[in-house]
Amino acid sequence: MAVSEVKNGRACIIGAGCSGFTMAKRLKDYGIPYDCFEMSDDIGGNWYFHNPNGRSSCYSSLHIDTSKWRLAFEDFPVPDKWPDFPHHSQLLAYFKAYVEHFDLRRTITFNTRVVSVERRADKDWDVTLSNGDIRTYQWVCVANGHHWDAHTPDYPGLAAFSGHQTHSHHYRDPFDPFDFRGKKVLVVGAGNSAMDIASELAQRPIAERLFISMRRGVWVLPKYVNGVPADKAVLPSWMPTKLGRALARRMIKKQLGRPEDYGLPKPDHEPLDAHPSVSGEFLTRVGCGDILPRSGLSKFDENGIHFDDGQYEEIDAIVWATGYKVSFPFLSEPDLTPVANKLSLFKRIIRPGFDNLFFLGLAQPLPTLVNFAEQQSKLCAEAITGAYALPDKTEMERIIASDEILHMGHFYQAQRHTMQVDFNTYVKDLMAEIVRGRKRHKAGPSTRSSKEIAAPANPS
């Protein structure tokens, strides 16, 4: 085992998906030395189809549900010829072009997994790598993603079920690694992946019958409104959040009508009181009878499933589109371990008491996660250079509680809603927080010494 002390003031980035490489670009801009470790053989993370590290949830037909207008990086526009909702291969090509354009690839160490990150007595971090090296860093940036550790629930009798089972994380296409043609298929879940996969498998040449189990009704939002991508609509910055949400709810109800009129369960919540499910095809396939809605699951037997409403269906195959567990296998400290998928963070970045550990992209932002960490990296870089000072721990905890009410107070209680933020509201406040932090820095010394690294005169 090789042990090496890394130059003091250096940062470690874990992962080279869109959160990791945008953080790398920011540190490079600021002249901050860093190492970025990626367990796979290339960048892209979740958007790397057939990623050999097994962490990608991409399936062959996947198109992102965020329009190109909302996912572009600030200083690297998307190609003009892109469709409104690009295919995953286009998004990965865009990521690779970004990395090449800013000469980031040479700063990334591939095929190297971070095994553990342990806090030292001096508050720095010992990072153990899969090659046996142990390196010490002052700053650690966690960008390993949260859509890779698949969650599959348990039900009475499930062990006896003889049909095929897979999680949406492992679904690739209707024919391989399992051939769904002619099968009676059940999709469990009501999120975007559930609706995409159900819509694909429900096509008549594929599944014999396609059922979808939904524990509760949902509002399925369209990709287009009045001929343009729905997420292009942005409320004026001066409009209060509650008023904007009320206007949006009214518009959604007017355009969609009642979900139960399509044959879906009646929602027990208002539009936007849950993480939205977006699909341009699902409601049509339900209305055509290609997708047959069912209630929540009750119990299994060898050949099929009993539902909560008393119905029974024989089933050949199940696709569990039941979400993910938020986990960091390299972090062992209890205070850094999510509980029921919740890890409260200051500005969705910092755990109070761990000022030199940054979580990137650990959120469910609306409308997009792609360029979310690009914004977060601004605060991280200013903190590393010493231009920004955090509030004290008590104030951080107060702000966390206030922010969680602002962003999640209107959602119903569920593990699905532990990291929700509105992108525009979040970024506006984040930029204001950076200004507040600069003022705190000027008012007095930071509680943690910074390294003498010059920041750009006008960082974006």
The CATH superfamily holding the domain 158-320 is FAD/NAD(P)-binding domain (3.50.50.60)
pLDDT tens-digit map of 33-72: 999 999 999 999 999 999 999 999 999 999 999 999 999 9
Q: How does residue 137 score in pLDDT terms, banded at 50, 70 and 90? A: very high
Instruction: Look over the chain and give the mean of its residue pLDDT values, rounded to a whole number.
Output: 92
Q: What is the pLDDT of residue 3?
A: 39
Segment 144-152 shows an average pLDDT of: 95
pLDDT tens-digit map of 256-286: 899 999 989 999 988 888 888 999 999 999 9
Fold equal for 3-149+325-443 and 158-320: yes
Q: What is the pLDDT of residue 8?
A: 56
pLDDT at position 449 over 90: no
Sorted by where each begins, the domain ranges of the chain are 3-149+325-443, 158-320
3-state SS, one letter per residue, for the chain: CCEEECCCCCEEEECCCHHHHHHHHHHHHHCCCEEEECCCCCCCHHHCCCCCCCCCCCCCCCECCCCHHHHCECCECCCCCCCCCCEHHHHHHHHHHHHHHCCCHHHEECCCCEEEEEECCCCCEEEEECCCCEEEECEEEECCCCCCCECCCCCCCHHHCCCEEEEHHHCCCCCCCCCCCCCEEEEECCCHHHHHHHHHHCCCCCCCEEEEECCCCCCEECCEECCEEHHHCCCCCCCCHHHHHHHHHHHHHHHHCCHHHHCCCCCCCCCCCCCCEECCCHHHHHHCCCEEEECCEEEECCCEEEECCCCEEECCEEEECCCECCCCCCECCHHHCCECCECCCECCCECCCCCCEEECCCCEEECCCCCHHHHHHHHHHHHHHCCCCCCCHHHHHHHHHHHHHHHHCCCCCCHHHCCEEEHHHHHHHHHHHHHHHHHHHHHCCCCCCCCCCCCCCCCC
Task: Write out the CATH class of domain 3-149+325-443.
Answer: alpha beta
Percent of the chain whose predicted confidence (pLDDT) is above 90: 80
Q: How does residue 455 score in pLDDT terms, banded at 50, 70 and 90? A: very low
pLDDT at position 406 over 80: yes
